[in-house]
Structure 1
Amino acid sequence: MTALAIDIGGTKFAAALVRPDGTVTRRLEVPVGRDPEATLVSLVREIRNDRDVRETGTGDLVGAGIGSAGPLDAVAGTVSPVNIPAWREFPLVGAVSELLPGLPVALAGDAQCMALGEWWRGGHSRSRALLGIVVSTGVGGGLVLDGVPYVGPTGNAGHIGHIAVDRDGELCPCGAVGCLETIASGPSMVRWALANGWNAPDERPDARALSADAARGTPVAQLAFQRAADALATAILTTAALFDIDDVVIGGGVSGAGETLLAPLRQAVAKRAGLAFLRRLNVERTSLERDAGLYGAAALVLPVAG
């Protein structure tokens, strides 16, 4: 029994074959490219036709689980990722179903899958209320409550990146003002740092370079991370007040900064948490790195247990 897991991000697509015990028999990752649909088709075909896959066999393939950047419509099977302008109400489920005739295809948000993956394979199966946050090109979130992913009627529950944290803030690509994503996403942090005097290195200025400068003690880089941590803390505490969260797991490329992000984030959460049940929040970085979303996507179609 094997699931095809697909992770649709803002800058890369990944796919893997995953078994119910968590074994990954094959994994591929490619940049989105100029034609996202062609990239998707090529990725799915390649992972099914790879020699190693043929040797292990795909006859036991039970279906495909997809985690995609949002917003999305899980009922219609469409996605409109903010950071993939070419896809607006793109029929993602239909496109994958055409490549896998006769097999079920399930869709959830990429951060929802990250949270589910952490609950299943990341050592959080005892958590009754888990919030997963992906901090990367955008900011996404997902909830696992009592071992069940909570996706809401349209599949968009947990969309923490679009909680308003600054009513006088920037206009977000989603159309709202002051969303968490306008402050805490990698590109937003870099943009703010450059506007406030960051002397970026000669190579391409990105969140990794900003993180390195922050770790070296560069004040404006550190302030960019503090600003992001403060905004994240506001959104986390808002979510925790609504859902009585036990654990918060941070993933995505920006989480690679480690304690440069997590230390000020934990401090901000502890400082701002008022009610006793909010002060018990455990905040940590993903233990599954880039594979958390793939595990969660696989869990959408596999019989899994925590």
Structure 2
Amino acid sequence: MPNDLVAALDIGGTKIAGALVDGDGRLLVRTQRPTPARESAARMSDAVDDVLRELTTAPDWDRVRAVGIGSAGPVDAKAGTVSPVNIPVWRDHPLVAGVRDRVGALPVSLIGDGPAIAAAEHWQGAARGRADALCMVVSTGVGGGLVLGGVLHSGPTGNAGHIGHISVDMDGELCPCGGHGCVETIASGTNIARHALAAGWQPGPDGDATAAGVAAAARAGDLLARAAFARAARALAAGIAATAALVEIEIAVIGGGVARAGDVLFTPLRAELTRYATLPYVQGLEIAPATTGTDAGLVGAAAAGWRALGAEVA
């Protein structure tokens, strides 16, 4: 059927991915490039162009009705610009204008990567059918997005729900965002591994010193590794409880590389949440792992494209 696809772009600190996505959230064409985050603004733009070139030359491109972009943030959806914390060569970069130059008259929508993941989980994942949800990604950074009243709430600039930069330690260390003691400074995969190493944890025979290595050690009973995940869980619980108290959510969905630790993360997180989510209207808050996987950013970006066309997807 003609005109029944949207193009999606997912721009993050490690990869730039693109896809053609149908109205059921299926990815029909998919491509990606590494993110040259520290090379130059021109190299970043070239990588985006390479992804777009593959999409626009795909046989089904003539069926595309809109383009949705989910980008690491902060973003400014009104201005169409992005200034990702983890892509220092882009500051106030006119991403939407650049994409429009390459896709012609198609409408282009921009949202942050956190709202994109929320859109994906509400459309196709663990928050499907829920009216009020917080959906998070815990990886090299910590991001999030909100669904309120059954509708994605991305805010005026496309950044609403960015839980990674809620401060949970007033005397905590400086965050790249400029704040202190942000959830991200404690609970991101990078900082879980950093804290474990500083506390004396030693990687196993495989030498894996990442959060995945810490998780493997925690599953094997290493007390220092377990303590690093318990610390991260405490920060996440504090941020989730604060969000629930503010906007009343019924479920918090967590994805990203750190969430793949499974019970190593979710067991202490649920326990810590009972300490922080104490008000009656937040005590029943459900915690669930995300189900849309590594393509969540693309599915959420596609949802933004469909929403721009008036479709009820997320």
Same fold flag (TM > 0.5)? yes
Give the match for residue 216 of structure 2: 212
Task: Deviation per CA, 1:245-271: give whole Å up to 9, x if none.
Answer: 011110111111111111111111123
Question: 1:115-130 maps to which residues of 2 (within 5 A)?
Answer: 115-130=118-133
Give the match for residue 71 of structure 1: 74
Q: CA deviation at 1:123?
A: 4.8
Matched, 1:5 2:8: yes
The RMSD of aligned alpha carbons is 1.4
Question: 1:44-63 maps to which residues of 2 (within 5 A)?
Answer: 44-49=52-57, 53-54=58-59, 57-63=60-66
Gaps of 5+ in 1: none
Matched, 1:272 2:280: no
Q: CA deviation at 1:77?
A: 0.8
Give the match for residue 156 of structure 2: 153
Give the match for residue 301 of structure 1: 305
Poorly superposed stretches of 4+, deviation over 4 Å = none
Q: CA deviation at 1:99?
A: 1.5
The answer to whether the Cα contact below 8 Å between 1:11 and 1:137 also exists between their aligned partners in 2 is no
The match for 2:262 among 258, 261, 283 is: 258
Gaps of 5+ in 2: none
From the superposition, tell whether residues 96 and 203 of structure 1 become closer, same or farther in structure 2 (CA, over 3 Å). Answer: farther
Task: Deviation per CA, 1:150-184: give whole Å up to 9, x if none.
Answer: 12222221111110000111100011111111001
Paired residue type of 2:48: L
How many residue pairs get matched? Answer: 301
* Distance in 1, Cα, partners of 2:126 & 2:86: 31
* Distance in 2, Cα, partners of 1:113 & 1:298: 9
The answer to whether the Cα contact below 8 Å between 2:75 and 2:157 also exists between their aligned partners in 1 is yes
- Scaled by the length of structure 2, what TM-score is found? 0.92
* Distance in 1, Cα, partners of 2:221 & 2:31: 36
The answer to whether the Cα contact below 8 Å between 2:15 and 2:35 also exists between their aligned partners in 1 is yes
Question: 1:129-278 maps to which residues of 2 (within 5 A)?
Answer: 129-201=132-204, 203-278=207-282
Matched, 1:41 2:49: yes
Paired residue type of 2:97: G
Task: Deviation per CA, 1:71-112: give whole Å up to 9, x if none.
Answer: 111111111111111111111111211121111110011110
Matched, 1:32 2:40: no
Deviates more, 1:148-157 or 1:167-176: 148-157
From the superposition, tell whether residues 231 and 37 of structure 1 become closer, same or farther in structure 2 (CA, over 3 Å). Answer: same
Deviates more, 1:217-226 or 1:21-30: 21-30
The answer to whether the Cα contact below 8 Å between 1:120 and 1:304 also exists between their aligned partners in 2 is no
Deviates more, 1:143-152 or 1:181-190: 143-152
Give the secondary structure class of the aligned counterpart of 2:7: strand
Give the secondary structure class of the aligned counterpart of 2:305: coil
Task: Deviation per CA, 1:33-62: give whole Å up to 9, x if none.
Answer: 34322211111212332xxx31xx211211
